[in-house]
Amino acid sequence: MLLPFEFLTGRNPDRDAVYRACCEEGGPGAQLDAQIAATAGLPKIHANYTREYRENLATINDPQKQELYRVCGALAHGLHGLSDCHHSTFRWIEGWVHAIGTGK
């Protein structure tokens, strides 16, 4: 969740570099996802709009692990264009913080 804040806070003005760090295979975001999946015993984490996400979610029987996978899929989806002026950016961030805090 903190990876896009490099861009949103102006510390890294290169939108493409931040997007790659957050979303590209092998980048820090993907590495964090892999570590979470391995620690929690989850399948590979994909953004929640992908076919792979839906297929993996269907294989998880434990309700707590399903919820964790849903939270991870939402975070993997990322922010729309890494834009702090997009109308839903802060609703997304609020949803992420709530999901992390409640585990749902």
Residue carrying the six token digits 């980048």: 27
pTM: 0.76
**Residues above pLDDT 90, as percent of the chain:** 38
| Tally of domains in the chain | 1
Owning domain of residue 82: 5-102
* 31-47 mean pLDDT: 95
- The beta strands (E) that lie in the chain are given as none
In DSSP notation, 12-33 reads ---HHHHHHHHHSTTSHHHHHH
Closest CA to 66 of 101, 34, 104: 104
Predicted confidence (pLDDT) per residue in 71-102, tens digit: 889 888 876 656 666 677 777 778 778 877 88
pLDDT exceeds cutoff 70 at 8: yes
